[in-house]
Structure formats: C-alpha cells, structure tokens
Amino acid sequence: MTAALEINGLVKAYGEKVAVDRVTLTVPQGSFYGLVGQNGAGKTTTLSMAVGLLRPDAGTARIFGADVWSDPATAKQLVGVLPDGMAMPERLTGREVLTYLGLLRGLKKEVVTERATELLSVLELEGAEKTLVIEYSTGMRKKIGLATALLHAPRLLVLDEPFEAVDPVSAATIKGILRGFVEGGGSIVLSSHVMALVEQLCDHVGVIDKGRVAAAGTLEDVRGAATLEDRFVELVGSGSTAAKGLSWL
C-alpha cells in the first residue's frame, strides 16, 4: 500500500547549520504518527519540507505517492496542514479566513459556508466568528488553523504542535476530531513535545535528534518496555545536566 507520507533523505541547512540531516520516515496509511524531538531538533523544518512549504537542499517527499515538488497540485489537494506559527490573513475574521481559503481550494461557496459553520461550532469559535484573527489568542489561532487544515477534507493531516497553548477542554475536542479522522481512514502526522499526549494518541512515533532520526516505528517498537518519556530521554538527552547549575537560586 502506498504510504500516506514518505520522506526520503531530506536535508536542509541554514548557512553552516544543518537543521535536517538525511531524514527518512514513512507514515503508513491510516496511522496516527507522532514526531517528537527537543527544541531545535528539526521537526518543523522536516514537516515544512514534507508538505512543500520549504524547499529541501536534497531528498524527496511524497504524499500518497505524489511528489510534493514535481506534482504539487496533486500532493497539496491530499493534505491539510497546520504549520508552526501559521501566517494567516490577520485582518479577516475566522469565518472570512475559512471562506477565503475554501474558495482558493476550489470548494463551492455553499460547501464552504456549511463546513465553516460546522467547524467554527465544533471548535467553539462561533463567539469569535466576527472577531479579526489579529485579536485571537494563541490557542484560538491554533483552532482556526486546524479548521483551515480540515476544510477541504484531506486524506492526510500534518499538524505542527496542534495542542500548544490550547486549553484542556478544546484539547479534548481536538483529540476527538483527530481520532474520528483516523477511524474514518485518514492519516495524521503531528509534532509535539508532550510524550504523554503522543503515547495517548499515536500508534507510530519518530524521534528526531539534532536533525537525524534517532528511532522510528510503531509506538510499541520505539518505547519497548519503558514509557515513551524514558525512552526519549535515553535516546536524546542528558537530562540531569540542567539540574547542576543555578546554585544561586
């Protein structure tokens, strides 16, 4: 079966700094894939290249077999993306953003209106329907970003830290939406720092450390008999060093 997302040998350097160093990962269809790594490990850079937002120095990314760079129209129709620090038209209301992006995606006006109403309601943004995005809180921005990712009913969702700054009630709603999406045959890749969340939601996990894949596979294979957090610290960390400083505190 064709993978939902297949990235092969992705490389990205910013000047001397190699942010992503030959990253190869396969996200099987129907899987809920968690990408974890420390701050600056290269998750956002990897995901940006995987969905065609950032051109790699080397390597390929395919979404259901469609190359993101040589066949972007096919690839981008199949994917919904929540980028990190999403740039949005800030002087539009949430509904206007959804309408604008839905029409750009080629959806019919009635379909956009119906889906926008439903998304704003499910994500509890109806109250902010008439508010400009520039006035949204960080969590509300995540939610409207998620709504834009879902609007065209993609087969793959790529979500960069979707739960960051989202309150627990909204997080529970989003978890429900994402689980339902996978149960309905969709595939998801999300990045997160929260191991418990990845353990709770995901069936596959990839650990990125200093731009490289430190481990990848099913959740069971990666964590073994340990918790994901213990395994993660074992793979990437020297966690105790932080505690040695700050003697003045």
Ligand X SMILES: Nc1ncnc2c1ncn2[C@@H]1O[C@H](COP(=O)(O)OP(=O)(O)OP(=O)(O)O)[C@@H](O)[C@H]1O
Q: Which residues sit at the interface with ligand X, rule CB under 6 A?
A: 14, 17, 19, 37, 39-45
Q: Minimum distance from CB of 9 to ligand X (Å)?
A: 17
Q: CB nearer to ligand X: give 43 or 76.
A: 43
And the tokens for 80?
């919904």
Place of tokens 């508010």: 131
For residue 188, the surrounding DSSP H or E stretch is strand 187-192
Neighbours of 117 (CB within 10 A): 14
Q: Minimum distance from CB of 202 to ligand X (Å)?
A: 17
Q: CB nearer to ligand X: give 64 or 163.
A: 163
Q: Minimum distance from CB of 212 to ligand X (Å)?
A: 12
| Cα–Cα distance for residue pair 240/238, rounded to 1 Å | 6
Q: Minimum distance from CB of 127 to ligand X (Å)?
A: 29
| Cα–Cα distance for residue pair 177/38, rounded to 1 Å | 27
| b/e map 72-95, b = 16+ CB within 10 Å | eeebbbbbbbbbbebebeeebbbb
Q: CB nearer to ligand X: give 50 or 151.
A: 50
Q: CB nearer to ligand X: give 80 or 83.
A: 83
